[in-house]
Amino acid sequence: MRFQYCPLCGSKLIVKNLHDDENVKYCNTCNKPYFDSFNTCVIVLALNEDNEVCVIKQSYGDTQKNVLIAGFINIFERAEDACIREVQEEIAHEVLEVEYINSYPQITKDNLMLGYLCRVKKSKFKLSKELLEARYVKLDEALTILDNAKIAKELVKDYLLKKKLIVRQYQEKDLLQIVNLFKNTVSNVNLSDYSEPQIKAWINNVNFDQWGKTLKENYTLVALLDDVIVGFVDMNKDGYLDHLYVHKDFQRQRIATILCNQLETDYPMKKITTNASITAKPFFEKRGFKSLKKQEVIRNNITLINYVMEANR
C-alpha cells in the first residue's frame, strides 16, 4: 500500500525526514507518519505422506496456470494459522505440520509471500469455488509444472535445498574438492568483476599444504548436496572470515546464507571482519557488514581490488 492521503483525516501527505528515516510521508494535521507497506500472504507447499505436492488451477485470472495454494493473512492471524485455513478452505485436507521455508516479495502486486511447508493427510479433494482443479504431483515434476509460477517454483526449490543440503565441519578429505570449487567459482562467477589476468593471478599457485592447514585451524563448514561439496566457509579465532565460496552451478540458492547462518550460530563472535571481493561485497552488505576501506592486493604482480568489511553481532 502506497499512501498519498491520510486515511484518518483525508489530508494530502507531505514528505519529510523523520529521525533516521528519509522521505517519510507525513500528515501535518494528525502529526502521524505513514510508511508504504505490503500485503502479507502465505503460499503453501502442501506435501502428502507420499511426498507429492498439491498443484492447483484457479477459477479466475489465468485459469490454465499451475500454482500452489496461497492467500492473504487475516488481521491478527498467525501466518501458520493462515496456512492451515487456506488448505482446509481450498482442498479440505487435514494439516499435520507447518514449517516456515522462506519469504518472497511479489513486487508487481505489493505483496510479501511467506512460504510454508504444510504436511497434509492425503484424502479426497473437496474444491472451493476458487479452484478449477487440484492434483498431486511428484516433487521433481513440480519444478517443471510450476515453470510459469515464479514464486511457487522458488518455494519448491528452497524446500528441496533445505531437505537435501547437509552442512558439516571440514574433513581433510575435502581439500581437493574445496580447492577445485574455489578455482571454478572464481573463474566463472568473479569473471564479471575481474579481468582474466586478475582471475589467473587469484587462482594460480594454490598451496595445498597451506590451504589444508588454514582450513583445519579455522572453524570451517562445508555444504554438501548428494556428497558433492557446493560451498564452504571458514573463520579464525579472531573473527576473521577467511573464505566463502559457493559452487558456480549453485549460485543464488541461499547456500552462502545457510553457511554463514550456521557459522555464526556454531562460532559466535561479537565482531566479524572479512576482505570481500567486488562480487561478494553486496552479499555481505545484506548481512549487515559495513565497508571500512577499499584496498589493492598484489598477486603475482597483478593488482586486485577488495574491501575490508566489518559487522558487529
Query: Are residues 37 and 4 in contact, defined by beta-carbon separation less than 8 angstroms?
Result: no
What's the pLDDT band for 19 if we cut at 50, 70, 90? confident
User: Quick check: 200 pLDDT over 80?
Assistant: yes
**At how many degrees (to 10) do helices 208-217 and 175-188 cross?**
110
Mean pLDDT across the stretch 15-27? 91
Side chain identity at 216, as an amino acid letter? K
Find the angle CA(214)-CA(183)-CA(177) to the nearest 5 degrees.
65
Res 146: pLDDT: 92
Q: Is the pLDDT of residue 32 over 80?
A: yes
Pairs from 227-230 (Cβ < 8 Å, separation ≥ 24): 228/177, 229/174, 229/177, 229/178, 229/181, 230/165, 230/181, 230/255
> Mean pLDDT over all residues of the chain?
94
Given a cut of 90, is residue 307 above it in pLDDT? yes
- Record the pTM: 0.57
**What is the signed CA dihedral for 273, 185, 299, 200, rounded to 10 degrees?**
-170
pLDDT at 228: 86
Q: Can you read off the three cell numbers belonging to residue 163?
A: 531437505
pLDDT at site 115: 97
What are the structural domains of the chain? 1-37 (no CATH), 39-162 (3.90.79.10), 166-312 (3.40.630.30)
Percent of the chain with pLDDT over 70: 100
**Which tens digits make up the pLDDT trace of 89-146?**
999 999 999 999 999 999 888 999 999 999 999 999 999 999 999 999 988 788 889 9
pLDDT tens column, 158-178: 888 787 889 999 999 999 999
**Among 28, 36, 103, which residue's Cα sits nearest to residue 73?**
103
Q: Which helix (H) or strand (E) holds 308?
A: strand 302-312
Longest dimension (CA), the chain: 71
Residue 157 has pLDDT above 90, yes or no: no
Please name which of 239, 240, 234 lies closest in space to residue 217, comparing C-alpha atoms. Answer: 234
